[in-house]
A and B are shown apart, each in its own frame.
Chain A
Amino acid sequence: MNYKNFEPKIIAFLCNWCAYAGADMAGTSRLKYPANVVPIKVMCSGRIDPEFVIDAFEKGADGVFIGGCHPGDCHYVNGNIRTRRRVAMMKKLLEQMGINPRRLRLEWISATEGAKFAKVMEEFVNEIREIGPLRRK
């Protein structure tokens, strides 16, 4: 099947201190990336309850992105490390549920890494486009 024309729906959970600021930096630097990604700001990536991720897929998201601070840089000491563990666990869970674990992606993006944010968004949208829609009618 050819999904080339499908427009993936992607949720990006961004932590307030690093990834959200990195996304702002991508804007300030006018670095274009696909508009498929819609951000939700949370204070820390550690706030992201696995339920949010499941909920996003259930509601029809084709991909979920989580952006946090680099290890050691977390504004809240170690929330990002917990997120890393939770994401590893969620990927296993997703696999059990028949959802390709590549649909969930975690990246560390600092407040200075606007270029990385734009690049990762571009990559992730392309990856999801390649995997295809979660629901195939």
Chain B
Amino acid sequence: MARRIGIFVCHCGVNIAGVVDVERVAEELRSYPGVAFSTTYQYMCSEPGQNLIRQKIEEENLDAVIIAACSPAMHEETFRNVCKDYFNAYRCEMANIREQCSWVHDGEEATEKAIKIIKATIEKLRGNEDLMPILVPVEKKCLVIGGGIAGIQAALDIADAGYKVILVEKEASIGGRMAQLSETFPTLDCSQCILTPKMVAVARHPNIKLMAYSEIIDISGYIGNFDVKILKKPRYVDEVACTVCGDCEDACPVIVPNEFDMEKKPRKAIYIPFPQAVPSTYTIDREACLGLAPLTCAQCKEACEANAIDYDMQPKIIEEKVGAIIVATGYDLYDKNKLVEYGYGEDDDIITSLEFERMLSASGPTGGHIIKPSTGETPKKVVFIQCAGSRDVQHMPYCSSICCMYTAKHALLYKHHVPDGEAYIFYIDIRATGKGYEEFITRVMEEERINYIRGKVAKIFREGDKIVVWGVDTLTGKKVEIKADLVVLAMAIVGKKETRELAKLLKVATDEGRFLKESHPKLKPVEALSRGIYFAGCAQAPKDIPAAVAQASAAASKVLAIFAKDKLEKDPLVAVVDEEHCSGCGVCISVCPYGAMTWQNGKAKCIEALCEGCGTCAAACPSNNIEMRNYKDEQIEKMLEVII
């Protein structure tokens, strides 16, 4: 194979060259067996850098190249695309001397390690075969998980482009968190008014199959060909037949708290979470209903003129094949019971930001009136506490990104409702980086006469009918004590609690905040490491509505790029059985997670379209008769040799 290898060592500005002696690296490798040429350049990925590679391949008659630079996760594709004009893509390998060398080591030892890494890569390269990608068909249908604003936007974008979408929502209605909000910063437009038309558009779109009150229970396959199992939970009400007249609700004798209203408003066991819910139908809460198990109550069924209620409805498992998946599962608030310093948030008059949001909503528990929950009176002094659980190593170390803005909105709306009330906001810093955000904060601070106090609250406790807030104003250095009627905690945002389970099905990593790990934090912020899976909204990181919508459209455009092709290229790094020497023991068949290993004439055979290239079979084969293409035993042994 490769007989004239070219080595291109990247400086990456000072990122590599500032630590690793790149000239010495290039010099030392020049005399290594098989190396015909070696050089360095400041930015190998730049246009002149890529041209340098092209020029040297031609001038030096190179038949393979190694780019010693950043992680292959970053630029392997870039450099292989350059090389494709001259030879097979697998004649180009990257040696990672940045993320795994210059960024983590210092001095002489970094240079030594860089040389070792490159030498090992040369050995790998020499064993590489020329391979062409395997072509697989694409199922031009997208699964969107989560029906909040991000999921809705992504579904509409893809459906509008003419492709089929399955939108799966766990709750009884789509709409997500945005449906719970009163008004949105910084323009103060009504959340419902801008969201509900989109919800209706989803329900009416001929290309969208809406599956609300459903959950994903299994995902397998790969880009272009995912197999998904969806559990459709029984509503016990026929979605189509239900006319939403409300007679059933009036008849139902069971009263439970409504989750949509943060459990601050009652609902019946047969309910619609909010009037504009989509799909527009009632649902029976299985846990609360009396009629389902022992037939003691059937009052709703008797009341229903449309005959839509069916107590015998069963859960259904629906199997779908999709080509791409968008995850838009949204967020939960951090558990306020973990905030010891704020009295675990257990007092009625200490509420979370979402509870306050529902209070502000005209359709919320108080009909849009701001009250002191313990007495029902109008609170004359309200303390808003930002970063409750955020930017705190005891809780969540990151910034939840939207709290500065919505707290300003909350304080402003409070002043509009209670003009003679006093509002205090405790903050660490004000982060208002979006368009029109800083202007909004300025308006709140100056025109609305809100008292901004820079500092953290140390303790909150009840004293009679007041909530006492102790804090420090770090600008004056003085202690602050406020006897408040109501305290609103701007709770940290964390990924939805079901995200971890779903992430396991998707083979996507999650971080401490249960946020999904993207492929690259800057250049691939909507892609998962596994191809064909994309993220939108707060499932990936805390973000505001415009950012969630933008990310959703970005994810949709990635999916459309896949659907624009009839065949997708699949990595040809598959297993190959040496049939002549195979003993037919079948161990590989039993370990393969994809069923890619099968019997043929008493011997094992690999079906390339199914093989994902993990190599478990190669490691398990007792007679060493399975090789992984371009990750051969021989290659790994040679790599070991040069490293040690």
- A: residues with CB less than 8 A from B are 9, 11, 17-18, 20-21, 23-24, 26-28, 30-35, 38-44, 46-52, 55-56, 59-61, 69, 72-79, 82, 86, 110-112, 118
Contacts and interface: CB of A to CB of B under 8 A. Distances in A.
A112 B113 CA distance: 24
Contacts of B612: 76
Contact of A43 (B96, B98, B512, B614): B614
A51 B632 CA distance: 13
A15 B31 CA distance: 31
B110 A35 contact: yes
B620 A82 contact: yes
B105 interface: yes
Contact of B640 (A32, A40, A42): A40
Given A24-B100, A27-B99, A30-B103, A61 B628 contact: no
Contacts of B624: 49, 51
B517 A86 contact: no
Name, among B521, B631, B641, the residue most crowded by chain A CB atoms within 10 Å (CB to CB): B631
Interface in B67-98: 71-73, 96, 98
A27 B99 CA distance: 4
Contacts of B511: 112
Interface stretch (B126-134, B145-153, B416-424, B502-510): B502-510
A32 B113 CA distance: 14
Contacts of B614: 43-44, 46-47, 75-76, 79
Contact of A30 (B104, B109, B503, B504): B104
Contacts, number: 149
22 contacts: A11-B644, A27-B100, A27-B103, A33-B105, A35-B105, A35-B113, A38-B113, A38-B117, A42-B631, A43-B628, A44-B615, A47-B616, A49-B624, A52-B640, A56-B640, A59-B641, A73-B507, A75-B529, A76-B614, A79-B615, A82-B591, A112-B517
Contacts of B71: 24, 27
Contacts of B139: none
Name, among A21, A38, A61, A118, the residue most crowded by chain B CB atoms within 10 Å (CB to CB): A38
A11 B509 contact: no
A35 B111 CA distance: 10
Contact of A47 (B96, B106, B615): B615
Given A27-B71, A50-B619, 4 more contacts: A24-B100, A33-B105, A40-B120, A52-B636
B197 interface: no
Name, among B98, B101, B117, B636, the residue most crowded by chain A CB atoms within 10 Å (CB to CB): B636
B365 interface: no
A110 B509 contact: yes
Contacts of A27: 71, 98-101, 103-104
Given A38-B643, A79-B614, A26 B619 contact: no
A36 B116 CA distance: 11
Interface in B501-553: 503-504, 507, 509-512, 517, 521, 529-530
A39 B100 contact: yes
Contacts of A20: 73
B105 A59 contact: no
Nearest to A64: B640
Contacts of B640: 11, 40, 52, 55-56, 59, 61
A60 B644 CA distance: 6
Given A27-B71, A27-B98, A48-B619, A56 B103 contact: no
B65 interface: no
A40 B643 contact: yes
Contact of A23 (B100, B120, B594, B631): B100
B509 A43 contact: no
A76 B628 CA distance: 15
A40 B639 contact: yes
A77 B595 CA distance: 12
Given A28-B99, A32-B105, A47-B628, A38 B510 contact: no
B119 to A, nearest CB: 10
A74 B613 CA distance: 13
The 9 tightest CB contacts between A and B, nearest first, are A47-B615, A27-B99, A76-B614, A77-B593, A46-B616, A44-B614, A27-B103, A35-B109, A24-B99
